[in-house]
Chain A
């Protein structure tokens, strides 16, 4: 486990991305998998090929190599724009969240679309990306009782994080709208080399409000 900082800042986020590149370059075939998260990188290696001391030594070398330290400059994260239909019929908690915040619904939407979020981590379920940070005026605690089924594409807020549910699943976040773009396409790899997710840890995401007609035209589903 590699820690790149104690708090969630742009600097630690860039550090995590640099460490991913360094691990890939330094560990080669010994590397089994990587789990980048908010401020850390979990490195899983093959214990029959190498050991923790060798991994630590090679990672130290790679992180001090200027080529990898500046990777964040050479490969800035992408910015991805995701369309969202904000409405009570698409996000069951939109009105209660607005009431709780003491703001009109339009203002909640303006605050949610007005922030550029960073992808801090992907986990919980395939393709579930934790995005931060939500404007504190529209931050909201998780529901006391999680829903058994949150519909696919739901855009949600929990505390100062926001996310899009990539598939129908249980969930306790506050639903405010729905995104018609698939966040995780489990069949993508069998069709072609196209990625099965439009975003990765370290990328930036902005939301853009769309109307009902546009949502349906983009393949959105309100069931």
Chain B
């Protein structure tokens, strides 16, 4: 039982919640760039929190179902149709064998997560199915999805038709304030440089990818040219010699020798990854204490926000197709 990739789209990757505990081998984390949308995708489907989904960047994925199951698309608003009929994001839909699932190009934002009941059943590699193309690890063959790929998944006959109410859904915009915990190399950036960093607008560069988002704007200089290579955390903001900041993301290399001005809050790297080239970013400094509080609050909110349920058949109260 499976789904077949008819069109792989711009960039579609199998991702579970990521690969942890293997940095000492040089393995990166991988996993969903937008952990919140990924979380809702699995939560709506009543899946384990780490179940394997497809991260769709920009859009264009088409699948053919060879199984009766349920799907959910969560994230950037990419038009979803099942057998040509328009369906909503952030909600569970029944699909049957021979159904055609098509996902169009995102109207805003950049990444969406297509989940299936119980997740795609792919063999994990180092404890995770997360695809890291640079390392040739995870997913199928360690590569992006290709036309004709077969994605195993189970037949599921009972799932609640959960959906996330409209006001609770994340919105994807063109500008973003990224909260930054200043880092241990902050003192090597003068006060003027720090003021410039936190006071300027940066634009997302074309050369942004799952390793990192490169930004363009006023250059930041650092008293250090390079440092002894050291571990890099997710969200670390490197300042290479050209002064243009790079926010490092899930597929980053585990060590590096550029100085770092701080680290972006994980909640905000998720939102950053929804920006496209040309969109704008501001940075705002926060303390580690505030960062922990923000994370705990967001976690509670994401886990406890109530899901609503549609009747299994017929149409819901607001008249949109179930």
Known contacts: A33-B21, A34-B23. The answer to whether A167 contacts B288 by CB under 8 A is: no
Q: Pull 16 A–B residue pairs with CB atoms less than 8 Å apart, ordered by A.
A: A1-B183, A33-B24, A35-B23, A35-B230, A38-B229, A40-B231, A41-B231, A47-B291, A47-B296, A48-B296, A124-B255, A125-B134, A127-B25, A128-B26, A186-B125, A189-B126
Chain A residues, Cβ within 8 Å of B183: 1
User: Does B135 count as interface, using CB distance less than 8 angstroms?
Assistant: yes
Among B126, B135, B229, point to the contact of A130 (Cβ < 8 A).
B229
Total CB contacts across the A-B interface at under 8 A: 101
Residue from the list A39, A51, A128, A130 in contact with B288, Cβ < 8 A: A51
Query: Does any Cβ of A come within 8 Å of B64's Cβ?
Result: no
Question: Across the interface, which residues of B come within 8 angstroms of A36, CB to CB?
Answer: 24, 231
Q: Is B198 interfacial (CB 8 A cutoff)?
A: no
Contact with B along A30-67 (1 / 0, CB 8 A): 00111111111110100110011000000000000000
Q: What's the nearest-Cβ distance from chain B to residue A24, in Å?
A: 11
Distance between B122 CB and nearest chain A CB, rounded to angstroms: 13
**Residues of B contacting A33 with CB < 8 Å?**
20-24
**Contact (A37, B228) CB under 8 Å given A1-B184, A121-B255, A186-B125:** yes
From A74-82, A90-98, A196-204, A209-217, the one touching the partner chain is A196-204
Interface residues on B, range: 20 to 34
Q: Which residues of A contact B23 (CB under 8 A)?
A: 33-35, 42, 44
Complex interface: chain B residues within 8 A of A48 (CB): 295-296, 299
Chain A, residue nearest B183 (CB): A1
B273 within 8 A of partner (CB): no
Interface extent on A, as a size class? 35 or more
Interface residues of B in 2-41 (CB under 8 A from A): 20-27
Q: How far is the CA of A114 from the CA of B299 in the complex (A)?
A: 55
| A8 part of interface (Cβ distance < 8 Å) | yes
Q: Are A38 and B233 in contact, with the CB atoms below 8 A?
A: no
A184 near B: Cβ within 8 Å?
yes
Distance between Cα atoms of A8 and B229 in the complex (Å):
11
Residues 166-204 of chain A, each 1 if its beta carbon lies under 8 Å from chain B, else 0: 010000000000000000101001100000110011000
List 10 tightest A-B contacts by C-beta distance, closest first.
A42-B231, A35-B231, A123-B255, A40-B230, A38-B228, A123-B254, A126-B26, A37-B230, A35-B23, A33-B23
Instruction: State the Cβ distance, B223 to closest chain A Cβ, in Å.
Output: 15
A124–B231 touching, CB < 8 Å = no
